[in-house]
Structure 1
């Protein structure tokens, strides 16, 4: 038996693979085409934390943790022939699908990148789902990291999954409407609909893990050796807001809060995100969902300004003189939106939050202060507008 992890070279996929491999005797097969490394290079940036090659990573996993059940396959999931061969050879009992072009700003640069993002993300998911159907593997537990961004920013509390719709005195449970705010986020809205359809038509057990903004540099498995580190992006296009703020602080810049910054966003520490995927990957077959089950992979909602202030406070403990400054917001958003989001199902899955935001950010500074020169060399990548069409 095997567990397939797509996006296995990525920020979330790699540490999740390490944890899963330590908890099972099954073969854990990583799949990636290294596109994330290429995208970040394309926008003129690097991972702040140097990343080893996949061969070095797997070698280190065996040397440091005694992991012998980890292997890697290079390939493009948008190519159906590759996916068919992958499924035929490895016959996965579980698929953890983390592969995607994950950047909303990148998907918004121009029409070419919007088209690429939608084709890449949707085609990969469809190929995997149809591959399971066509190869008589519909008992495979399909776990995909979609995003809490599919919900948009409604004024009411966000449910963990569907919604109740009422019309003319009648009501029914319906899928949550696609309220995504970018061409990237909309790919995950479409994926969520396709996952639901695959469950309905093919009876594939589906866990739709709607991932919040994930922050952090380490999990227990990556701390032991530099070759095991996961990537840390800090540029405007691929660095999530918490990472970008922390990198700005290390480079001696103020933390740049757009607008009022009172809007709350959903967050989760890398440790808590990895644990959820590990729990789903090693779930007893009898406990797998019979339906399309949604998990809001989030531990709390934090306002941007609170997050910025926390990062500045932690930075100052590292003798970095950091202030929070407000800039004009380049995004069209409600700067005072108070998001509320349900997460009971996910909290039960991981046994509750293990890492606070302050603890996670402290971990970030422990890592980034060793690589200040890599960040400072590309400090022009912090803000938007650095990648123009004539640079393509």
Structure 2
């Protein structure tokens, strides 16, 4: 019996694999082509935390946690032959699919990056669902991290899955409309539709985990040894807004909030993200129904200014100047939009929130304070133009 974790070298994939391996005797097989390392390097940045190579990571997992059930396969899921070979050799009862080019800004750089993002992400997912179908593995549970970004920013509460549509006095339940705002987010909208179709046509059990903005540096497993650390990106292209704000504080700059910054965004800690994915991966195959479920992987809806103020407050605990500065907003957006998103199914899955935003940000500063030089020497990769003038 085995569980496959794609994107196993990534920010979410690596700690998720550790969590799963710590709770099962099944073989946990990680798959990655190390693309994230190359993409970040191509925009002139790097992870703040040094990332061990995969052999060292797996050795450390064995030495520190006694995990001897981790394996790694280097491979590109865009190559259908690679996917078939992995599925045929390892015969997973569950696939946790976290592999993707995950950056909206990277996908917006130019047409080449947009095309690459769409081809890379969509082809990998299609190869997986067709690989399961054509290798007679339609009992395999497919768990994919899509994104809450598929929802856009509607003025009504976002459901956890389908929506009810009314027209001319009639109503029906329909998939939530794709309102993505980037070429990357559209890949996840298409993935969500393809997952739904794969379930309908092939009866593959699917968990579509629509992940919010993930923040934090540590999980229970990674904090035990530096060799187990996951990556931490802080640049404009691959670093989420909370991480970029923290990097600004470490480099001695104010936290720049565009306009009012009262718009509320969905967040979830790395710890809570990993916990949800692990619980889905470890669901009893004999008891699992062939369902298609959508989970809104969100624990903290927070305004941008509220997030900045919390980060500034924690920064001062670490002797950094935590100052919030409002600047003119270069974007066309509603600065007061109060996103409401239903997360009942996801909270029922994890039981309770394990890490608050403040606790997760404290972990971020614990980490960044150790690698301050990396942040400072790459400040041109994350500073907004208003601070460069």
TM over 0.5: yes
Counterpart of 1:228?
Answer: 228
CA contact (8 A) 1:5 1:17 kept: yes
When structure 1 is superposed on structure 2, of 321-330 and 258-267 the one drifting more is 321-330
Which ranges in structure 2 are unaligned for 5 or more consecutive residues? none
Q: CA deviation at 1:156?
A: 0.1
| Kept after mapping to 1: 8 A contact 2:265/2:303 | yes
CA distance in 2, matches of 1:349, 1:289: 15
Residue 77 (1) aligns with residue 85 (2): no
SS at match of 1:28: strand
What is the CA RMSD across the aligned residues, in angstroms?
1.0
Counterpart in the other structure of 2:67: 67
Distance (Å, rounded) in 1 between the aligned partners of 2:287 and 2:377: 49
How far apart are residue 383 of structure 1 and its match? 3.7
Could you give the per-residue CA deviations for residues 28-60 of structure 1, whole angstroms, max 9, x where no partner exists?
A: 000000000001100100101111111110010
Write out aligned runs for 1:1-392 (5 A). 1-383=1-383
Kept in 1: contact 2:268–2:297 (CA 8 A): yes
In 2, the alpha carbon distance for the partners of 1:5 and 1:129 equals 15
> Is the 1:206–1:289 contact (alpha carbons within 8 Å) kept by the matching residues of 2?
no
* Structure 1 residue 245 displacement after superposition: 0.5
How far apart are the structure 2 equivalents of 1:237 and 1:254?
20
- Contact 1:255 / 1:324 at 8 angstroms: preserved in 2? yes
- TM-fit CA distance, 1:307: 0.2
Separation in structure 2 between the aligned mates of residue 287 and residue 249 of structure 1, nearest angstrom: 48
Shift, 1:254, TM fit: 0.7
The number of residue pairs the alignment matches comes to 385
Can you list the C-alpha shifts for 1:188-215, whole angstroms capped at 9, x where unaligned?
0000000000000000000000000000
Q: Check 1:328–1:18 CA distance in 2 against 1; reply closer, same or farther (3 A cut).
A: same
Distance in 2 between residues matched to 1:63 and 1:381, nearest whole Å: 36
Shift, 1:289, TM fit: 4.2
For 1:289 and 1:296, the matched residues in 2 are separated by 20
Aligned to 2:172, the other structure's residue is in SS state strand
Extract unaligned runs of 5+ from structure 1: 386-392
Deviation at 1:109, TM superposition (A): 0.6
**Mean Cα deviation higher: 143-152 or 319-328:** 319-328
Question: Alpha-carbon deviation of 1:328?
Answer: 3.0
Could you tell me how far 1:123 is from its partner in structure 2?
0.2
Note if contact 1:104-1:185 (Cα within 8 Å) is conserved in structure 2: yes
- TM-score normalized by the length of structure 2: 0.98
- Of residues 187-196 and 326-335 in structure 1, the stretch that sits farther from structure 2 once superposed is 326-335
In structure 1, what is the Cα distance between the partners aligned to 2:8 and 2:383? 28
Work out whether residues 122 and 187 of structure 1, in 8 Å CA contact, stay in contact via their aligned partners in 2. yes
SS in 2 for 1:296: strand
* Counterpart-to-counterpart distance in 2, 1:103 and 1:289: 33
Shift of 1:384: 6.0
Q: Which residue in 2 is equivalent to 1:390?
A: none
Q: Distance in 2 between the 1:23 and 1:15 partners?
A: 13
Q: Are the equivalent residues in 1 in contact too, given 2:248–2:383 (CA < 8 A)?
A: no
What's the offset of the Cα at 1:167?
Answer: 0.9
Work out the CA distance in 1 between the residues paired with 2:237 and 2:289. Answer: 35
| Contact kept? 1:161, 1:293, Cα under 8 Å | yes
Query: What stretches of structure 1 move > 4 A for 4+ residues in a row?
Result: none
Deviation at 1:355, TM superposition (A): 1.0
